[in-house]
């Protein structure tokens, strides 16, 4: 099977690596890809938000399955165009991707599907925003309604900061603060059946101890030894299946990956957000643990054949650490030279270096975006996986770059509901 992967991040690198392990895969192509993905796939430079351009490329190379990694092409309707051309695609159509594209739409579908989430108000004026802040009280949660790459959310006890964020966005969702640890739980769906993957935990704040602004994600681990044993089945039954059923009922079925970002609150599981694609960096810990062949699984999802299928994971643990460029997430400085450990020392370690925002300029590997590399360690337990990931991370040199040192350190705080004032922006 010939597969075309759309995207250029650490997530797509992990997807390509996992696809390559499935015997059904004969060729992997990627657009646009990155220097790490180039070792697994043939790269193509096209406009990946242009559905016709993606369809033409797929037809020219005789692609059997297109896998769309990021949200931007999904929300632009690239999957719609591929389906019109009868090309199997893993990723939802534009209408279904609105579960990620609009927080207000996601809330409306959750209400219809009776899925528990934070109580919220959609506000377009400073007066409405002020009233909603006072209704819910601190800590205040103010979200830009549109796409913001994980950076459009402000959680703060400072009312003036909350009001300022609302004023800076055209339309905001202001909502109740959810206490409790966050979990990322992904369901793979063909539009009717949905199968949960193992839970993972992502670290959203830029600095150790959950300090600093929100980012796209600074690290992740899986599985979660502290999570309730039945979390997958509970989330499938109370969250994923009701959402898939509701989208099908509306005539806009969701076929692809439904990412539930949830909080285990003192009042039960509540949804923080949905995404319409694999999470980054959670994918870099989930796929190295996946034992079900990925290409076959994604083809089954793309062709309506998931009923009765299973998704299996090894009992190993995986930890991933994101190395970000100087200034990320606020003022990213690009162009820093990246020096990786030698092939020899890498081959002795069981760590994998996934490329994210890297590029090659005049034969040198340099930083091109905010998140540069994701380093995954796999081991018999989290402690071992963590040691492997950090041992390789410490051998990488990039001027000004930074990473969190507390990924998967599993301090008590990550297992217990956070105290209200621990979750604010500085």
Task: Supply the minimum distance, in Å, between the C-beta of residue 398 and ligand AMP.
Answer: 26
Distance CA(90)–CA(287), nearest Å, equals 16
Alpha-carbon gap, residue 252 to 222, rounded angstroms: 32
Task: Check if the beta carbon of residue 393 is closer than 8 Å to that of residue 401.
Answer: no
Residue 272 binds which of ligand AMP, ligand GLY, none (CB < 5-8 A, kind-dependent): ligand AMP
Q: Which of 243, 271, 272, 302 binds ligand AMP (CB under 6 A)?
A: 272
Q: Which is nearer to ligand GLY, 48 or 201 (CB)?
A: 201
> Left, alpha or beta for 128 (phi > 0: left; psi -120 to 50: alpha)?
alpha
Using the minimum distance from each CB to ligand GLY, give the nearer residue, 279 or 377: 279
| Interface positions, 246-265, toward ligand AMP (CB under 6 A) | 261
Which of 177, 186, 221, 354 lies at the binding interface for ligand AMP (CB under 6 A)? Answer: 177
Q: How many residues make contact with ligand GLY (CB under 6 A)? A: 7
338-339 and 358-361 beta bridge pairing = unpaired
Please pick, from the candidates 11, 204, 369, 386, the single residue that binds ligand AMP as defined by CB under 6 A.
204
* Identity of the residue, 92 or 341, whose beta carbon is nearer to ligand GLY in the bound complex: 92
Report the alpha-carbon distance of residue 381 to residue 367 in Å, rounded: 32
Q: Which helix (H) or strand (E) holds 87?
A: none
155 Cβ neighbours under 8 A, 6+ residues apart: 139, 140, 141, 177, 214, 423, 424, 425
Residue 399 near residue 378, CB atoms below 8 Å = no
CB of 179 to ligand AMP, least distance (A): 7
Residue 117 tokens read as: 């989430």
- Which residue, 182 or 300, is less far from ligand GLY as judged by CB? 182
What is the per-residue binding string for ligand AMP in 210-229, x denoting contact by CB under 6 A?
A: ----x---------------
- 309 backbone dihedrals φ, ψ, rounded to 5°: -85, 160
155 binds ligand AMP (CB under 6 A): yes
Q: CA quadruple 244, 302, 183, 100: dihedral positive or negative?
A: negative
Distance CA 164, CA 181 (A): 27
- Name which of residues 258 to 277 contact ligand GLY (CB under 6 A): 275
Scan residues 88-147 and list those touching ligand AMP (CB under 6 A): 118, 141, 143
Q: Which of 64, 179, 210, 282 binds ligand GLY (CB under 6 A)?
A: 282
Q: Is residue 19 a contact partner of residue 37, using CB atoms and an 8 Å limit?
A: no
The entry of ligand AMP, ligand GLY, none that residue 117 binds, CB within 5 to 8 Å by partner kind: none
| Phi/psi of residue 248, nearest 5 degrees | -65, -40
Nearer to ligand AMP by Cβ, of 25 and 214: the residue is 214
For residue 310, the minimal CB distance to ligand AMP (Å) is 29
Residue 153 is a binding residue for ligand AMP (CB under 6 A): yes
Is 202 a residue that touches ligand GLY (CB under 6 A)? Answer: yes
Question: How far is residue 255's CA from residue 277's CA, in Å, rounded to a whole number?
Answer: 10
Q: Which residues bind ligand AMP (CB under 6 A)?
A: 118, 141, 143, 150, 153, 155, 175-178, 182, 204, 214, 261, 272-273, 423
Q: Which residues bind ligand GLY (CB under 6 A)?
A: 150, 202, 217, 275, 279-280, 282
């Amino acid at each position: 099977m010939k597969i075309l992967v759309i995207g250029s991040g650490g997530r797509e690198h992990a997807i390509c690596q996992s696809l390559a392990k499935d015997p059904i895969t004969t060729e992997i192509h990627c657009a646009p890809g990155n220097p790490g993905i180039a070792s697994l796939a043939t790269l193509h430079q096209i406009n990946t938000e242009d559905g016709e351009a993606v369809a033409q490329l797929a037809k020219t190379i005789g692609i059997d399955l297109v896998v769309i990694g990021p949200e931007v092409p999904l929300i632009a309707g690239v999957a719609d165009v591929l389906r019109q051309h009868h090309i199997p695609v893993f990723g939802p159509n534009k209408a279904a991707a609105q579960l990620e594209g609009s927080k207000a739409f996601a809330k409306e579908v959750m209400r219809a599907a009776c899925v528990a989430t934070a109580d919220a108000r959609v506000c377009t004026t400073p007066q409405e925003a002020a009233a909603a802040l006072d209704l819910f009280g601190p800590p205040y949660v103010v979200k830009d309604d549109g796409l913001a790459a994980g950076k459009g959310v402000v959680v703060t006890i400072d009312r003036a900061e909350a009001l300022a964020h609302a004023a800076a966005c055209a339309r905001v969702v202001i909502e109740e603060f959810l206490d409790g640890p966050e979990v990322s739980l992904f369901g793979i769906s063909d539009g009717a059946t949905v199968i949960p993957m193992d839970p993972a935990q992502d670290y959203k704040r830029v600095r150790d101890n959950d300090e600093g602004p929100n980012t796209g994600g600074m690290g992740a681990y899986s599985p979660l030894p502290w999570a309730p044993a039945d979390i997958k089945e509970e989330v499938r039954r109370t969250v994923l299946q009701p959402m898939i059923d509701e989208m099908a009922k509306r005539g806009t079925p969701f076929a692809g990956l439904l990412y539930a970002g949830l909080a285990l609150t003192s009042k039960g599981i509540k949804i923080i957000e949905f995404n319409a694609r694999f999470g980054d960096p959670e994918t870099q810990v989930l796929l190295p643990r996946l034992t079900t062949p990925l290409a076959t699984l994604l083809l089954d999802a793309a062709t309506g054949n998931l009923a009765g299928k299973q998704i299996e994971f090894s009992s190993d643990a995986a930890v991933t650490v994101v190395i970000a460029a100087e200034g990320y997430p606020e003022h990213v400085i690009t162009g820093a030279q990246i020096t990786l450990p030698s092939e020899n020392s890498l081959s002795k370690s069981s760590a994998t270096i996934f490329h994210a925002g890297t590029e090659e300029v005049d034969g040198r590997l340099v930083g091109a975006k905010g998140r540069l590399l994701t380093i995954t360690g796999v081991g018999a337990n989290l402690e071992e996986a963590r040691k492997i990931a950090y041992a390789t991370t410490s051998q990488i040199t990039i001027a000004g770059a930074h990473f969190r040192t507390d990924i998967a350190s599993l301090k008590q705080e990550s297992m217990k509901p956070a105290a209200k004032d621990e979750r604010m922006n500085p």
